[in-house]
């Protein structure tokens, strides 16, 4: 019971800290990911994000930091940290409601 409670508390805490800064999404990610510009996976399109997520979050964050295909290094968010990129990726990969 204690382990289950600890896991639940950690999951809740992780979720609370994983919320993306929507102003950073709006000024950087949204430009391409809202419409799928240059084959960027669209925000909320879980199917398009699935093969990318299979690579692992560290690989995705590294791709953002280095740039990939048409996406420039840092994905137009020069002041984003690795944790912020992770939260933004998780937000974009989440199925649309």
Query: Would you say residue 4 lies in a domain?
Result: no
Query: Would you say residue 9 lies in a domain?
Result: no
Position 18 scores a pLDDT of 67
Position 37 scores a pLDDT of 96
Query: Would you say residue 3 lies in a domain?
Result: no
Query: Would you say residue 77 lies in a domain?
Result: yes
Q: Are 21 and 84 in contact (CB under 8 A)?
A: yes
- CA nearest neighbour of 91 among 66, 59, 60, 55: 60
- pLDDT tens digits for range 16-36: 446 899 999 999 999 999 999
- pLDDT tens digits for range 54-69: 999 999 999 999 999 9
Q: Could you give the number of structural domains in the chain?
A: 1
Position 97 scores a pLDDT of 85
Task: Give the domain extent around 65.
Answer: 19-93
Whether this model's pTM surpasses 0.85: no
Query: Would you say residue 86 lies in a domain?
Result: yes
Query: Would you say residue 88 lies in a domain?
Result: yes
Query: Would you say residue 52 lies in a domain?
Result: yes
**CATH number (domain holding residue 50):** 1.10.760.10
Position 55 scores a pLDDT of 97
């Amino acid at each position: 019971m204690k382990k289950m409670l600890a896991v639940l508390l950690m999951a809740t805490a992780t979720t609370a800290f994983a919320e993306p800064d929507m102003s950073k999404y709006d000024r950087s990610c949204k430009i391409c990911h809202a419409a799928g510009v240059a084959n960027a996976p669209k925000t909320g399109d879980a199917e398009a994000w699935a093969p990318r997520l299979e690579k692992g979050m560290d690989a995705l964050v590294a791709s953002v930091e280095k740039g990939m295909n048409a996406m420039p290094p840092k994905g137009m968010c020069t002041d984003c940290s690795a944790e912020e990129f992770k939260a933004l990726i998780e937000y974009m990969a989440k199925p649309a409601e």
